[in-house]
Amino acid sequence: MHTIKFFLMLPLCLWIAGCVSTPVSNRSALILVPFSQEVSLGQQSYQAILSKEKESTDQKMSAIVRRVGERIAAVSDLPRLKWESRLIESDQYNAFALPGGKIAVYSAMLPICENEAGLATVVAHEVAHVVARHGAQRMSQDLLIDTALLGASIGLSGNPNSQSIMGALGVGATYGIQLPYSRAHETEADEIGLIYMARAGYDPNEAVKFWKRFSRVTQDQKPPEFLSTHPADSTRINSIRGMLPRALAEYRKTRTQYGLGVSLTAAKPASDSKSVSSISNVLNSFAP
């Protein structure tokens, strides 16, 4: 009986001990993974990815990716990390940032971004995942769920229906906790990223336009929202609209405003967004 109580109480104790607040959103989060370990895992993952991917030889676009990355990182809540940004030559529509400050943008994303502000939307979103330590949160949650399931398993000892119950509990953990939690991460990364791109001097209004473009090229290719770890595009766009007033207030306070920045399709200032019609295959979501 004491053993059962220990395993049932352990998740609560871990939650209390590991509770922190994330920057900008000020949401409570459970983090049981040391920051140094998280950074080490991020660096190892980054090297493993780079060993299999081809870095772009387009010096102009690579410089723009580095510039946007540097500007976003400088205004983030972890400016002292060893941030670095690389452009990966790939037809995959992807971008990511890993603990420790490692950013990568895949070249196929640039047409959807269209301009620096669109690129800043993507980069700031990924940087937000790192700053909010969403990777560590997921690892911590997995640890908590495993402990909780272990407690349930012990509590069900001798129950002839234990396998069925545990199977149902596993499904419940997947669809009742993990997926909504991941969608919450995405929404939080949008919120934090919007503030970062505004502080970096990029017009946050472009975030809405970027996600509209992204929605157009990914229509009919995504599962229903309740089966996805990411919010539906319409949900995300409406959510970002609600976040804009705060981001615009930050943008107005910024000394240097780049607006949309330069076009990613021509060496001149970008004026307005245009729809992207030449892209047909897009990954369902960015890597966290």
Residue 261 forms part of a structural domain:
no
pLDDT at 143: 65
pLDDT at 261: 95
Residue-number span of the structural domain to which 82 is assigned: 2-157+165-253
Active site (annotated) includes residue 186: no
Residue 277 forms part of a structural domain:
no
Residue 231 forms part of a structural domain:
yes
- Separation of alpha carbons 229 and 19, rounded Å: 23
What angle (nearest 5°) sits at the alpha carbon of residue 262, between those of residues 261 and 263?
Answer: 125
Residue 92 forms part of a structural domain:
yes
- Separation of alpha carbons 207 and 190, rounded Å: 9
Residue 287 forms part of a structural domain:
no
145-149: Cβ within 8 A, 24+ apart: 145/173, 145/177, 145/178, 147/7, 147/10, 147/11, 147/14, 148/7, 148/11, 149/173
pLDDT at 172: 44
- Separation of alpha carbons 192 and 212, rounded Å: 19
How many domains does the structure of the chain reveal? 1
Catalytic residue, chosen from 38, 114, 116, 126, is 126
Walking along the chain (288 residues) 10 residues at a time, the average pLDDT comes out as: 45 51 75 80 85 92 98 96 95 87 93 96 95 82 62 54 45 50 84 97 96 79 58 85 96 95 68 32 35
Residue 67 forms part of a structural domain:
yes
For 87-107, the pLDDT digits (tens) are 999 988 889 998 899 999 999
18-25: Cβ within 8 A, 24+ apart: 18/140, 22/131, 22/132, 22/133, 22/188, 22/192, 23/77, 23/131, 23/132, 23/192, 24/77, 24/128, 24/191, 24/192, 24/195, 24/196, 25/132, 25/188, 25/191, 25/192
Q: What is the DSSP string of the chain?
A: -HHHHHHHHHHHHHHHHHEEE-TTT--EEE--S-HHHHHHHHHHHHHHHHTTSEE---HHHHHHHHHHHHHHHHHSS-TTS--EEEEEE-SS--EEEETTTEEEEEGGGHHHH-BHHHHHHHHHHHHHHHHTTHHHHHHHHHHHHHHHHHHHHHHTTT-TTHHHHHHHHHHHHIIIIIHHHHHHHHHHHHHHHHHHHHHTTB-THHHHHHHHHHHHHHTTSS--GGG-SS--HHHHHHHHHHHHHHHHHHHHH-SS--BT-BBSSSSSB--S-----S-----SS---
Residue 286 forms part of a structural domain:
no
CB-based contacts of 107, cutoff 8 Å, min separation 6: 56, 58, 61, 87, 88, 89, 90
pLDDT at 92: 83
Cα pseudo-dihedral 63, 185, 50, 67, rounded to 10 = 10
Residue 171 forms part of a structural domain:
yes
